[in-house]
Structure 1
Amino acid sequence: MFRKLRIALSLKDDDIIEIMKLADMRIGKAELGSFFRDPRHNNYRPCKDQFLRNFIRGLHIKHG
Protein backbone atom coordinates (compact mmCIF):
# COMPACT_ATOMS: atom_id res chain seq x y z
CA MET A 1 0.00 0.00 0.00
CA PHE A 2 2.82 2.41 0.86
CA ARG A 3 4.38 1.86 -2.57
CA LYS A 4 1.05 2.68 -4.24
CA LEU A 5 0.70 5.91 -2.24
CA ARG A 6 4.23 6.90 -3.17
CA ILE A 7 3.52 6.41 -6.87
CA ALA A 8 0.07 8.02 -6.80
CA LEU A 9 1.41 11.13 -5.05
CA SER A 10 4.64 11.21 -7.13
CA LEU A 11 6.77 11.34 -3.99
CA LYS A 12 10.56 11.11 -3.96
CA ASP A 13 12.59 9.84 -1.00
CA ASP A 14 13.26 13.39 0.22
CA ASP A 15 9.53 14.18 0.11
CA ILE A 16 8.71 11.16 2.27
CA ILE A 17 11.49 11.99 4.74
CA GLU A 18 10.11 15.54 5.05
CA ILE A 19 6.56 14.22 5.60
CA MET A 20 7.79 11.83 8.29
CA LYS A 21 9.59 14.69 10.07
CA LEU A 22 6.27 16.54 10.25
CA ALA A 23 4.88 13.52 12.12
CA ASP A 24 7.91 13.58 14.50
CA MET A 25 9.37 10.40 13.05
CA ARG A 26 12.93 10.32 11.73
CA ILE A 27 13.88 7.95 8.93
CA GLY A 28 16.93 7.69 6.70
CA LYS A 29 17.08 6.98 2.98
CA ALA A 30 18.50 3.48 3.52
CA GLU A 31 15.71 2.54 5.92
CA LEU A 32 13.12 4.03 3.58
CA GLY A 33 14.54 2.09 0.65
CA SER A 34 14.14 -1.18 2.54
CA PHE A 35 10.34 -0.81 2.33
CA PHE A 36 10.43 -0.73 -1.48
CA ARG A 37 12.71 -3.73 -2.04
CA ASP A 38 11.54 -7.07 -3.35
CA PRO A 39 10.16 -9.12 -0.42
CA ARG A 40 12.69 -11.86 -1.24
CA HIS A 41 15.60 -9.42 -0.88
CA ASN A 42 17.75 -9.82 2.22
CA ASN A 43 17.29 -6.17 3.27
CA TYR A 44 13.53 -6.02 2.68
CA ARG A 45 11.51 -4.65 5.57
CA PRO A 46 7.70 -4.79 5.71
CA CYS A 47 5.90 -1.49 6.23
CA LYS A 48 4.12 -1.79 9.56
CA ASP A 49 0.90 -0.06 10.57
CA GLN A 50 2.60 2.47 12.87
CA PHE A 51 4.88 3.71 10.08
CA LEU A 52 1.98 4.04 7.65
CA ARG A 53 -0.14 5.78 10.30
CA ASN A 54 2.63 8.34 10.91
CA PHE A 55 3.05 8.84 7.17
CA ILE A 56 -0.66 9.60 6.76
CA ARG A 57 -0.53 11.92 9.79
CA GLY A 58 2.41 13.76 8.19
CA LEU A 59 0.48 14.08 4.92
CA HIS A 60 -2.45 15.53 6.85
CA ILE A 61 -0.18 18.09 8.54
CA LYS A 62 1.44 19.05 5.23
CA HIS A 63 -1.73 19.29 3.16
CA GLY A 64 -4.23 19.70 6.02
Structure 2
Amino acid sequence: MLDHLNASYTVLRNKIAAKLYHKNHVSLLTDYKTSNYKDQSIEIKIRTIREKYPLLLSGAEIKN
Protein backbone atom coordinates (compact mmCIF):
# COMPACT_ATOMS: atom_id res chain seq x y z
CA MET A 1 0.00 0.00 0.00
CA LEU A 2 2.74 2.47 0.94
CA ASP A 3 4.56 1.69 -2.30
CA HIS A 4 1.52 2.82 -4.29
CA LEU A 5 1.20 6.01 -2.28
CA ASN A 6 4.89 6.75 -2.62
CA ALA A 7 4.65 6.20 -6.38
CA SER A 8 1.69 8.59 -6.51
CA TYR A 9 3.68 11.28 -4.71
CA THR A 10 6.51 10.77 -7.19
CA VAL A 11 4.11 11.26 -10.10
CA LEU A 12 2.70 14.44 -8.55
CA ARG A 13 6.15 15.80 -7.77
CA ASN A 14 7.35 15.02 -11.29
CA LYS A 15 4.37 16.85 -12.79
CA ILE A 16 4.81 20.00 -10.72
CA ALA A 17 8.57 20.00 -11.31
CA ALA A 18 8.07 19.71 -15.05
CA LYS A 19 5.56 22.53 -14.97
CA LEU A 20 7.72 24.85 -12.87
CA TYR A 21 11.24 23.92 -13.98
CA HIS A 22 10.85 21.94 -17.23
CA LYS A 23 12.57 18.99 -15.56
CA ASN A 24 11.06 16.20 -13.50
CA HIS A 25 11.65 15.79 -9.77
CA VAL A 26 13.69 12.60 -10.16
CA SER A 27 16.05 14.38 -12.57
CA LEU A 28 16.43 17.27 -10.15
CA LEU A 29 17.33 14.82 -7.39
CA THR A 30 19.90 13.17 -9.66
CA ASP A 31 21.41 16.53 -10.60
CA TYR A 32 21.57 17.54 -6.96
CA LYS A 33 23.31 14.29 -6.06
CA THR A 34 25.75 14.78 -8.96
CA SER A 35 26.62 18.22 -7.57
CA ASN A 36 27.54 16.48 -4.30
CA TYR A 37 24.55 18.22 -2.70
CA LYS A 38 26.15 21.65 -3.20
CA ASP A 39 24.01 23.27 -5.90
CA GLN A 40 21.74 25.54 -3.88
CA SER A 41 19.53 26.45 -6.83
CA ILE A 42 18.58 22.79 -7.27
CA GLU A 43 18.12 22.39 -3.52
CA ILE A 44 15.65 25.29 -3.49
CA LYS A 45 13.69 23.74 -6.36
CA ILE A 46 13.52 20.40 -4.55
CA ARG A 47 12.38 22.09 -1.33
CA THR A 48 9.69 24.00 -3.19
CA ILE A 49 8.35 20.80 -4.71
CA ARG A 50 8.43 19.00 -1.37
CA GLU A 51 6.56 21.88 0.28
CA LYS A 52 3.82 21.60 -2.33
CA TYR A 53 3.62 17.80 -2.01
CA PRO A 54 5.06 16.77 1.35
CA LEU A 55 5.44 13.04 1.87
CA LEU A 56 3.32 12.40 4.94
CA LEU A 57 3.18 8.64 5.14
CA SER A 58 3.50 6.31 8.07
CA GLY A 59 4.03 2.59 8.24
CA ALA A 60 1.89 2.44 11.38
CA GLU A 61 -1.12 0.16 11.26
CA ILE A 62 -4.43 1.99 11.02
CA LYS A 63 -7.15 0.65 13.31
CA ASN A 64 -10.84 1.37 12.84
TM class, shorter-chain normalised? Answer: 0.3 to 0.5
Find the structure with the greater CA-based Rg.
Answer: 2
Q: Give me the TM-score of the superposition, normalised by structure 1.
A: 0.38
Structure-2-length-normalised TM-score: 0.38
Question: Which structure has more helix as a fraction of its residues?
Answer: 2
